[in-house]
Amino acid sequence: MLDVLVIGGGISGGSAAIYTAQGGLRTAVIDSGMSQVKQVSQLYNYPGISEISGTALMDTIKHQAIASGAEWTEGVVESVTQIDRVFSILLADGKELAAKHLIIATNLQTTLLKGLGFELAVNEKVPSGKVKKVLGIEPDGTTTLPNLYITSLLAGLSSQSVIAAGHGASVGISIVSKETGKSYMWHDK
């Protein structure tokens, strides 16, 4: 069984996977490859990087997650159930996975969340009024379902890449800290 399964390998899910894998947890990402950031020809507002294309940023995050030890699979998750604190995940190709912790980082895609019984509302931080957030979610991404975390816009945050990356990292750190029983910090030398 996986320690952590991340559904959605965009900015927030990829970032979460970097942290959980680096923290020693067996981590897998399932991603359908449609990160919104790939629509951005050049980003100028990602701190520390003067300018980068959305595709290059996404490729780098994926590379960092894999280098940290995460498995990365292209695919679509069709359904999620939780029985006795174990998540069962069914992919469109029929493959099944089991995980202790689940991170839903699917951004605009809310089907899985509705299937799990979450209520959705408009994310007021996005002016179009078309983007949803989950009701009852905590700032750290935790939800009413044990060991299930939700990131980024779905957690009611603003639509900016650095915020998505930071929230994913924060969720990853929370999970590693919970699993190891001590506050996780990643300090390179």
Ligand X SMILES: Cc1cc2nc3c(=O)[nH]c(=O)nc-3n(C[C@H](O)[C@H](O)[C@H](O)COP(=O)(O)OP(=O)(O)OC[C@H]3O[C@@H](n4cnc5c(N)ncnc54)[C@H](O)[C@@H]3O)c2cc1C
Binding site for ligand X (CB under 6 A): 7-13, 30-37, 39-40, 43, 45, 76-77, 105-107, 109, 112, 151-153, 159-162, 164
- Among 9, 2, 183, 180, which Cα is nearest to 86's? 2
Tokens of 130: 């078309």
Tokens of 96: 């099944």
- Among 90, 109, 113, which Cα is nearest to 5's? 90
Q: How far is the CB of 2 from ligand X (least distance, A)?
A: 15
Instruction: Identify which of residues 12 and 20 has a Cβ nearer to ligand X in the complex.
Output: 12
Tell me which residue has its CB nearest to ligand X. Answer: 10
Instruction: Identify which of residues 80 and 176 has a Cβ nearer to ligand X in the complex.
Output: 80
Contact 171, 151 (CB under 8 A): yes
Taking the chain, what is the end-to-end CA distance rounded to the nearest angstrom? 32
Instruction: Identify which of residues 36 and 64 has a Cβ nearer to ligand X in the complex.
Output: 36
Instruction: Identify which of residues 36 and 177 has a Cβ nearer to ligand X in the complex.
Output: 36
Q: How far is the CB of 189 from ligand X (least distance, A)?
A: 29
Q: How far is the CB of 149 from ligand X (least distance, A)?
A: 13
Beta bridge partners, 99, equal 2, 87
